């Protein structure tokens, strides 16, 4: 009787997915308190708590002073940083920080460094906020939805790192994209992992619909959420197609679905031109 390798891989990987996601989010007291206060709109109190976590403070300072944010003078205090970002963007940035605590010290499959991954987080965050402003949407949960993609990339890296030979074989023989490989080996794709993390973070159900729609293959029945999925799909493809992320092989995660986004493509392109 033949040993069903595919079934074995599926069972093991599903267990590892759940184990890994169970670690999200990390639970330092200051971090939990900061998120809770931001969820309540208590920006000043949140900054006071965040100030006591030196690692979080260092991350916030490093992220906000990157060129992508465009500040001419260095911002150093958490109260300043949260004041500049506002409640929604502060929450989103803290979610990004939580992901860095789970990031591998050494990326095995994707050619990423900590600085490159942080750059991806910052670019996605800033441009997603720009899109929501363009659409006149002010929603803290929807703004934080973009953090789910980098989080899912970390999970995918952890899963793929243990199956590098299997991944390499599938890539060489069938020329498959990473999302298809993830689905075949794990029974879930990148956007399913996004949904799992959104549930872990107790985000509203609409966030899962948006990230699933952003795959370009799972449209939402809700027209507004589906439109947001289209914008997110374009943003993911746009950013992951930048040279630094092509070099990291991240562009192989997203298969561009032009028909899905055709009605907003020109609007998106114009918005990116002025960003």
Q: Report the distance separating Cα 268 and Cα 239, nearest Å.
A: 13
Q: Which residue has the tokens 């794709």?
A: 189
Q: Which residues of 50-69 are buried (b: 16+ CB within 10 A; e: fewer)?
A: bbebeebbebbbebbeeeeb
Angle value at C-alpha 212, between 207 and 217, nearest 5 degrees: 155
| 3-class secondary structure, 268 | helix
pTM of this structure: 0.80
CB 110 within 8 A of CB 248: yes
pLDDT reported for residue 12: 47
All residues at 6 or more sequence positions from 200 whose CB lies less than 8 Å from its CB, including other chains: 21, 22, 24, 25
pLDDT tens digits for 215-272? 999 999 999 999 999 999 999 999 999 999 999 888 888 788 999 999 999 999 999 9
Cα Rg of the chain (Å, integer) = 19
* Distance from C-alpha of 22 to C-alpha of 197, rounded to nearest angstrom: 9
How far is the CA of 9 from the CAs of 12, 19, 248, 259, in angstroms? 5, 15, 25, 34
Between CA 257 and CA 116 the distance in angstroms is 26
Question: What six digits make up the tokens of 170?
Answer: 């599938």
Average confidence (pLDDT) over 204-219? 94
Would you call 240 exposed, middle or buried from its count of C-beta atoms within 10 A (0-12, 13-18, 19+)? buried
253: DSSP letter:
G
Domain regions of the chain by residue span: 1-24+110-275, 25-101
The pLDDT-based confidence of 73 (bands split at 50, 70, 90) is confident
Name which of 216, 37, 272, 233 is nearest 140 in CA terms.
37
- Angle at CA 48, nearest 5°, toward 45 and 49? 90
Encode pLDDT of 119-145 as tens digits. Answer: 888 889 889 999 999 999 988 889 889
Token pair for 67: 């060129």
């Amino acid at each position: 009787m033949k040993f069903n390798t595919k079934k074995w891989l599926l069972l093991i990987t599903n267990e590892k997915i759940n184990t890994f996601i169970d670690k999200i989010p990390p639970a330092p007291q200051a971090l939990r308190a900061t998120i809770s206060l931001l969820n309540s709109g208590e920006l000043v109190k949140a900054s006071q708590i965040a100030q006591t976590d030196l690692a979080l403070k260092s991350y916030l300072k490093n992220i906000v002073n990157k060129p992508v944010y465009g500040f001419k003078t260095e911002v150093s205090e958490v109260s300043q940083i949260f004041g500049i970002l506002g409640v929604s963007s502060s929450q989103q940035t803290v979610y990004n920080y939580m992901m860095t605590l789970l990031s591998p010290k050494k990326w095995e499959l994707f050619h990423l460094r900590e600085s490159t991954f942080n750059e991806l987080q910052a670019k996605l965050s800033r441009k997603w906020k720009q899109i929501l402003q363009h659409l006149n949407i002010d929603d803290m949960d929807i703004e934080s939805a973009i953090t789910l993609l980098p989080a899912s990339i970390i999970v995918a890296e952890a899963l793929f790192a243990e199956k590098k030979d299997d991944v390499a074989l599938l890539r060489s023989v069938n020329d498959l994209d990473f999302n298809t490989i993830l689905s075949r080996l794990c029974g879930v794709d990148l956007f399913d992992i996004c949904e799992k993390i959104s549930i872990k973070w107790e985000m509203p159900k609409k966030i899962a619909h948006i990230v699933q729609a952003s795959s370009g293959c799972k449209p939402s029945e809700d027209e507004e959420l589906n439109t947001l999925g289209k914008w997110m799909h374009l943003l993911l493809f746009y950013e992951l197609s930048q040279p630094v992320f092509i070099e990291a092989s991240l562009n192989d995660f997203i298969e561009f679905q032009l028909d899905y986004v055709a009605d907003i493509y020109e609007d998106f392109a114009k918005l990116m031109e002025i960003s």
